[in-house]
Amino acid sequence: MIRVDNLNIHFGQGARAFAAARDISFFVESGESFGLVGESGSGKTTVLRALAGLLDGVARVSGDMVVAGERLERRRSKSFRRQVQMVFQDPYGSLHPRHTVDQILSEPARIHRMDDIQGRVLTALEEVGLDRSFRFRFPHQISGGQRQRVAVARALITQPRIILLDEPTSALDVSVQAEVLNLLVRLRRERGLTYILVSHNLAVVSHMCNRLAVMQQGRILETLEVARLRDGTPDQAYTRALLLASQGYDRAAADSVDLLDRP
């Protein structure tokens, strides 16, 4: 469903150019959930934004990206925009503060000239566990978890095949995170969706994904099955250190991260 070959992303020009992603290659099968993990600044969100076509005019992007059989050019096609949707990290910042939930959900359906917009809005709300009473509320009138459910509903309106998830629960309280993650798991199963999930939380990736790629300083260090992550048997020392760190602070784990060779 998704293939990325030798993706390079640079910000800036000349001697001051910064390589945010270098020689990134991976594939995602149809119906699979694939994780991109790594510390802050490793380039994982930048790769996701390049796939979504959100770096045009901001960065220089080179390499091959093929999504659902379509080779991606600088300008994304309308078909791509309908098939690929994105859920952002901050559920408040990604929703228009002066639009009601109804307006937020109706807009993509209107853009793609879909019929029965009212019915689609009500169905999308139901699918994410919100009743019709939320329809005419503003984002500030609902909780963070409910806002993220609205963001997921907005992504579903166009009936996409692929959803790009950028840390979809990191801005939420721990008590709400599991609800949103279980919602995403159910929707993928019911709709046959393909996910790319960006996260620094290995527990989230282990729950959500089939495979993952570990990134450090703009490069992919290794790609592995989630089963190997759970078993604690990655090849790279950096991945093993991330696993140790994810289990809670301990001085030995912190020292092992500090001593790693960096590319």
The mean predicted confidence, pLDDT, of the chain is 89
Q: What is the pLDDT of residues 43-52, one digit of tens each?
A: 999 999 999 9
Average pLDDT over residues 239-254: 70
Domain count for the chain: 1
Spatial separation of the C-alpha atoms in residues 232 and 119, rounded to whole Å: 47
Judge residue 240's burial from the number of C-beta atoms within 10 Å of its C-beta, 0-12 exposed, 13-18 middle, 19 or more buried. Answer: middle
- The per-residue pLDDT for 263 is 47
The answer to whether residue 237 is domain-embedded is: no
Spatial separation of the C-alpha atoms in residues 177 and 96, rounded to whole Å: 22
Lowest mean pLDDT among 15-29, 157-171, 191-205, 245-259: 245-259
- The per-residue pLDDT for 259 is 45
CATH number at residue 201: 3.40.50.300
- The per-residue pLDDT for 210 is 92
- The per-residue pLDDT for 106 is 95
The answer to whether residue 156 is domain-embedded is: yes
Q: What is the pLDDT of residues 175-217, one digit of tens each?
A: 788 888 999 999 999 999 999 999 988 888 988 999 999 999 9
The answer to whether residue 257 is domain-embedded is: no
The answer to whether residue 56 is domain-embedded is: yes
Instruction: Answer whether 0.85 is exceeded by the pTM.
Output: yes
Q: What is the pLDDT of residues 85-119, one digit of tens each?
A: 999 988 788 899 999 999 999 999 999 999 999 99
The answer to whether residue 239 is domain-embedded is: no
Percent of the chain at pLDDT above 70? 94
The answer to whether residue 52 is domain-embedded is: yes
Structural domain range at position 188: 2-232
The answer to whether residue 238 is domain-embedded is: no
**DSSP 8-state code for residue 26:** E
Spatial separation of the C-alpha atoms in residues 54 and 179, rounded to whole Å: 28
